């Protein structure tokens, strides 16, 4: 059990380092965006970015997720090579069809989104960026399923470094605005494909397997609907904010989401990238259910502890990274969005059981149903309460996803989660944030000190509620002794990075 937990933690930490690197690059760009783009323009860019991500999900047919699932259960090298080649061959065909359908409609898209044909060029670049992003997903998921987090970090950081420098050059030196952002993203996506050519050449067995393709397609197709639905739940409210309010409000709400989404990028997505391949290999192993129970408890702990920290400092963060006062009110929505993201992080863990049971159609039914509720609530609450209405709807949608996915996954793979401890984490984090509202009007230096004390106190307060088992306390003390001396950090990090891959046969 301990070796499994250590490997999961190691993989998650490494993916977190990669995600943090990506996010650092994004944070570097934010002052440039808020300086060079008005809230209206930033809102336009946010809508374009969301549209591209929805198109990636749709025309990628979730073959990258199917690649993860089928590759993990195949032990033969040639069989794995056929899976990789089949997935990439099908994706090439899909991308060609996608371009034939969309490149001739860019003027219509510009009129639909912005009421004028003058932004058609944005959509031409957007289609190309989307096409290369579809391949990027396959490449990164192939690296994940091969359990090479170090290579994943190198690939993603290389890509986003290219994005960073190209965008800075095009926006600052050439004054290209939104067009420069899209071209920078396109350049980074192409760079990742070039980076991955040697890996793809080694992994592919050049034979299309049509029966395999049909099976992968049946697995991945329902995930298109669940993927789009999940994405709409996260960012689709931007379209309704635009409809009921304006692009200025879209820009402010999108900026607040950029920061609240740090929890998702650094912890939730990093965990999923490291854990999903391990989970697929774990389900039939002894003590697997105990393993999932403990992993989930500490997964939720990290999500809400980090979410609490982000929420406490939301006001200070927005003031640091926003060059214009027009964006300052964005901090008000970060705590609500962060809470919702925590719920969506919880439900994503429950969905793993449905993936394993190949009940992807259930995931599709749940997410599309919650999307319908989400749209209905947004249409009522956004006109009535503005951006607060969108944030409250996001929280309600996350809670619905938690309950529905939990009860459905328990039907196919029952796990006795530590629900009492989970509830303690939720109530304590929310209570501490609400208590912190009373110190928001204090002088800056005192406010910062008190907020830091609240963050540090969180795990110790959990101890008072008997959150930790005795063996867990011993392990935490051991970790503290190992990492308390900064002189040992370099050695410990090297050991973590070169640690042996997880071997499921040891289970």
Under 8 Å between Cβ of 363 and 406: no
Beta-carbon contacts of 245 under 8 Å, excluding residues fewer than 6 positions away, are: 382, 386, 387
Least confident of 25-39, 65-79, 274-288, 427-441: 274-288
pLDDT of residue 13: 65
pLDDT at 504 over 50: no
- Residue 119: which H helix or E strand, with range? none
CA distance 364 to 20: 30
pLDDT of residue 3: 57
pLDDT of residue 18: 61
pLDDT of residue 507: 34
Instruction: Outline where 323-469 has alpha helix (H).
Output: 334-356, 360-385, 387-412, 419-436, 444-464
pLDDT of residue 476: 78
CA distance 102 to 316: 42
For range 239-260, the mean pLDDT: 92
Beta-carbon contacts of 72 under 8 Å, excluding residues fewer than 6 positions away, are: 145, 277, 280, 281
| Residue range 315-351, pLDDT digits in tens | 999 988 887 888 999 999 999 999 999 999 999 888 8
CA distance 16 to 23: 10
Q: pLDDT exceeding 70 applies to what percent of the chain?
A: 91
The domain ranges of the chain are: 2-417
Cα–Cα distances in angstroms (integers) from residue 208 to residues 59, 177, 213, 214, 461, in the given order: 19, 43, 8, 11, 57
pLDDT of residue 1: 52
Pairwise pLDDT comparison (125 vs 144), residue with the higher score:
125
Under 8 Å between Cβ of 26 and 45: no
Under 8 Å between Cβ of 35 and 324: yes
Under 8 Å between Cβ of 230 and 367: yes
CB-based burial label for 497 (10 Å; 0-12, 13-18, 19+): middle
Beta-carbon contacts of 22 under 8 Å, excluding residues fewer than 6 positions away, are: 156, 157, 160, 265
pLDDT of residue 495: 65
Confidence of residue 193 (pLDDT cuts 50, 70, 90): very high
Looking at the chain, the number of H-run helices and the number of E-run strands are: 22, 0
Under 8 Å between Cβ of 366 and 292: no
């Amino acid at each position: 059990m301990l070796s499994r937990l250590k490997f999961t933690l190691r993989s998650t930490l490494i993916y977190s380092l990669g995600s943090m690197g990506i996010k650092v690059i994004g944070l570097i760009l934010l002052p440039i965006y808020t300086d060079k783009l008005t809230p209206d323009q930033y809102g336009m860019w946010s809508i374009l970015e969301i549209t591209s991500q929805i198109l990636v999900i749709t025309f990628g047919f979730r073959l990258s997720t199917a690649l993860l699932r089928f590759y993990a259960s195949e032990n033969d090298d040639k069989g794995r090579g056929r899976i990789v080649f089949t997935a990439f061959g099908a994706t090439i065909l899909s991308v060609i069809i996608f371009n034939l359908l969309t490149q001739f409609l860019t003027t219509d898209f510009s009129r639909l989104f912005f009421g004028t044909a003058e932004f058609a060029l944005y959509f031409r670049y957007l289609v190309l960026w989307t096409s290369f992003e579809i391949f990027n997903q396959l490449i990164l998921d192939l690296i994940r399923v091969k359990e090479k987090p170090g290579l994943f970090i190198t690939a993603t950081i290389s890509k986003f470094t290219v994005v960073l420098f190209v965008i800075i050059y095009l926006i600052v030196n050439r004054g290209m605005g939104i067009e420069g952002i899209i071209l920078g993203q396109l350049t980074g996506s192409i760079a990742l494909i070039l980076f991955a050519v040697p890996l793809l050449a080694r992994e592919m067995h050049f034979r299309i397997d049509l029966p395999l393709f049909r099976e992968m397609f049946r697995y991945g197709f329902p995930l298109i609907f669940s993927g789009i639905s999940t994405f709409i739940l996260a960012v689709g409210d931007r379209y309704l904010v635009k409809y009921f309010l304006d692009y200025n409000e879209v820009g402010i709400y999108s900026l607040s989401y950029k920061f609240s989404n740090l929890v998702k990028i650094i912890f939730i997505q990093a965990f999923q990238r490291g854990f999903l391949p391990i989970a697929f290999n774990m389900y039939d192993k002894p003590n697997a259910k105990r393993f999932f129970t403990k992993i989930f408890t500490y997964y939720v702990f990290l999500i809400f502890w980090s979410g609490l920290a982000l929420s406490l400092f939301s006001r200070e963060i927005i003031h640091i990274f926003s060059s214009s006062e027009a964006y300052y009110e964005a901090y008000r929505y970060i705590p609500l969005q962060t809470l919702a993201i925590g719920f969506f992080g919880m439900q994503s863990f429950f969905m793993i059981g449905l993936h394993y049971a190949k009940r992807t159609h259930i995931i599709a039914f749940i997410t599309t149903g919650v999307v319908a509720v989400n749209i209905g609530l947004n249409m009522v609450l956004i006109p009535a309460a503005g951006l607060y209405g969108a944030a409250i709807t996001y929280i309600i949608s996350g809670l619905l996803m938690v309950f529905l996915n939990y009860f459905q996954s328990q039907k196919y793979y029952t796990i006795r989660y530590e629900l009492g401890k989970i509830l303690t984490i939720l109530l304590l984090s929310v209570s501490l944030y609400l208590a912190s509202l009373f110190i928001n009007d204090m002088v800056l230096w005192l406010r910062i000190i008190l907020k830091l004390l609240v963050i540090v106190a969180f795990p110790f307060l959990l101890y008072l509620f008997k959150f930790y088992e005795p063996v867990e306390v011993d392990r935490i003390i051991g970790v503290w002794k190992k990492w308390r001396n900064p002189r040992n950090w370099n050695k410990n990090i090297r050991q973590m990075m070169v640690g042996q891959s997880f071997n499921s046969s040891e289970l």
